Amino acid sequence: MLATLKHKRVILAVSGGIAAYKSADLVRRLKDAGADVHVVMTAAAQQFITPLTMQALSGNPVHTELLDSAAEAGMGHIQLARWADLILVAPASADVLARLAQGIANDLLTTLWLATRAKRAVAPAMNQQMWAANVTQENLAKLAEQGVTIFTPAAGSQACGDVGMGRMPEAVDLAQRCADLFAVGTLTGKKVVITAGPTQEALDPVRYITNHSSGKMGFCLAEACVEAGASVTLISGPVHLPTPDRVQRIKVISAMDMLQASQQAVADGCDLFIATAAVADYRPATVAEQKIKKQGDNIVIELVKNPDIVATIAALPNKPFVLGFAAETERVEEYARGKLKNKNLDMIACNDVSRADIGFQSDDNAMTVFWQNGMAKLEKSPKTYIARQLVNLCAKQLQN
Ligand code: C5P
């Protein structure tokens, strides 16, 4: 179902940084995806994690020296450079990025990098100030120009105590992205429209009804669809998320706005409609023109039902393939299959919102997906990874 690394030969090159501990897990994940993995370590990397660990996990000897006669007798550095289908530097320190960008070849890692014809990728990880430094960004731009894939770091708290950009993405995510480098775009040429985030339903000029949706799932799906080759329109309620690269974003506030934007986007051409938005089921019957004043002890607000956006799109005569979402706390399959039918969806992805460790505000999710003749369970993992699996499922059904 996922893009795989079956029969692919990967050199995982580890440079010195605290994120090197994640590289041990990365070896396992690359192998799980089907890759044969050889690990190369710089001298600094060996201060953080031992070659023995990497050897045990990869099942192959670890390469540390450029000029080592024993290693050269086994698989010499030029042979190793030719062997690889992919060289991934993870973590890539600021120092290694600088050397790679300049074409300096003063150790095994940088020499392999120059000597290979394989795909090349880096997963930078460093202190947020070092990441933000102009010279680091210039080096990354140079590498991107040379066709190197940059796996951008995530934001968050850092080992040094700082908070900001510079954390290496999780191993499971990196392994999947490596596999994607070999995948042919499953949605090439397709148009995708995605709704995301909450809606805000105004009561008066200063108050509204909304919910806790972060929009993360929809934004991750937008990214995954772009990666799969689609052109993507993302219709989002108010969220605090940057617009993913190469995504056309339409900002909306209320359910009525979202419906109108969705209808317009679908009319402009749409093969796949994905409804992740947590649309408010009801809106105030009237929006007061002036701020509502404090009254007695009780106040009654009349609410009227909002239109069901996904059902409206799924009822169109030339409807696109429609993926809906459901948050359930019990009888997941029964309720999901009910919604699949009632809303005329092609596929529905359910998360169990009774679980505290996944869902609304979390970076992780776990889902069960249903379509007419099948189902799939997506185990707990980062939303980015879940998004790619969902996109692959949709692409498969679309092809059918
Ligand atoms: O009925 P329920 O709210 O559980 O359905 C959830 C699915 O329907 C989600 O895909 C959500 O984006 C979509 N939805 C919608 N418009 C609504 C309510 C839900 O598109 N008014």
| pTM for this entry | 0.66
Q: Ligand 1 within 6 A of 280 CB? A: no
Instruction: Give the sheet arrangement for strand 247-251, strand by strand.
Output: 247-251, 231-236, 191-196, 272-275, 321-328, 347-352, 364-371, 374-382
Any idea how long the chain is?
400
Q: Could you tell which of 200, 257, 279 is best to mutate to test the pocket of ligand 1, judged by most ligand atoms within 8 Å of the CB?
A: 279
Question: Among the atoms of ligand 1, which is closest to the Cα of residue 343?
Answer: 8
Q: Ligand 1 within 6 A of 309 CB? A: yes
CB 313 within 8 A of CB 264: no
* Distance in Å, CA 278 to ligand 1 centroid: 7
Which one-letter DSSP state was computed for residue 2? -
**pLDDT tens digit at each of 400 positions of the chain:** 356 888 889 999 999 999 999 999 999 999 999 999 999 999 999 999 999 999 999 999 999 998 877 777 667 888 999 999 999 999 999 999 999 999 999 999 999 999 998 889 999 999 999 999 999 999 999 999 888 999 999 888 888 888 888 899 999 999 999 998 887 678 988 999 999 999 999 999 999 999 999 999 999 999 899 888 899 999 999 999 999 878 999 999 999 999 999 999 999 999 999 999 999 999 999 999 999 999 889 999 999 999 999 999 999 999 999 999 998 888 888 999 999 999 999 999 998 777 777 655 677 788 999 999 999 999 888 788 889 899 999 999 988 7
d(CA 58, CA 31): 8
Q: Given CA atoms 93, 227, 155, 327 in this order, what sign does their dihedral have?
A: negative
Catalytic annotation present for 178: no
Catalytic residue among 160, 220, 225, 270: 160
CB 373 within 8 A of CB 362: no
Q: Ligand 1 within 6 A of 49 CB? A: no
Q: Ligand 1 within 6 A of 125 CB? A: no
Q: Could you tell which of 211, 304, 309 is best to mutate to test the pocket of ligand 1, judged by most ligand atoms within 8 Å of the CB?
A: 309
* Distance in Å, CA 274 to ligand 1 centroid: 11
CA distances from 221 to 78, 119, 165, 217, 314 (A): 40, 25, 21, 6, 19
Q: Ligand 1 within 6 A of 279 CB? A: yes
Cβ count near 293 (within 10 Å): 7
- Give me the residues paired with residue 377 across strands: 368
* Distance in Å, CA 100 to ligand 1 centroid: 48
d(CA 143, CA 292): 57
Structure tokens at 356: 């505290």
Q: Ligand 1 within 6 A of 178 CB? A: no
Using alpha carbons, select from 169, 398, 207 the residue that is nearest to residue 287: 207
